[in-house]
Amino acid sequence: MKSEIIIRQKQARVLRAFRKIHRTTGAILFLFFFFVAITGLTLGWKKHTGGLILPKSYNGTSTNLKDWLPLDSLHKIACKVLHDSVSKDLSPELERIDVRKDKGMVKFVFIDHYWGIQLDGATGKLLHIERRRSDFIENLHDGSILDYYFETSYEQIKLVYTSIMGTALLTFTVTGFWLWIGPKRMRRKTQGRKRNK
């Protein structure tokens, strides 16, 4: 009987410790969890916002790469469009070039701002100037926006941020599960002992 009381006391101590860890982690990281939840939800719906978050991809005139202009010519056109139509002050440095052969379109995404230019691969005609809100939201979601502003070299802030958030989520999962299952196990053992008497 005495050993059962000691076991129950230990289980109660473990539950109290888990409850404290769960509560403290939630209180400290509340704002971060809020941002991760809102940005994650937004990113999940980005393709269903009618081009508001994720820009629509437009179609060019030819899907045959033989008909296309060289990429360096298309790049020059995209930089000219960026400076003439958006701002002369924006950097033309590229983050990536998306070649959409199936749409006959090439997209130039710039690294220092959230603008993209879609051109017809065959004619070089402007198809769309896009504001890349989805990239901004993604950078908020994973913390890399701070690496961008502080100009870090290897995304150190993103690495620390995602490590903290991942560990916190794992801690929440484990402590939350134990807070749910722990009392049930204690009740079951108590009821079992009463039946055995």
What distance in Å separates the CA atoms of residue 137 and residue 146, rounded to the nearest whole number?
Answer: 13
- In tens, the pLDDT along 38-77 reads 999 999 999 999 999 999 999 999 999 999 999 999 999 9
Residue with tokens 């896009």: 130
pTM of the predicted model as reported, rounded to 2 decimal places: 0.78
Predicted pLDDT at 11: 80
89 has pLDDT over 70: yes
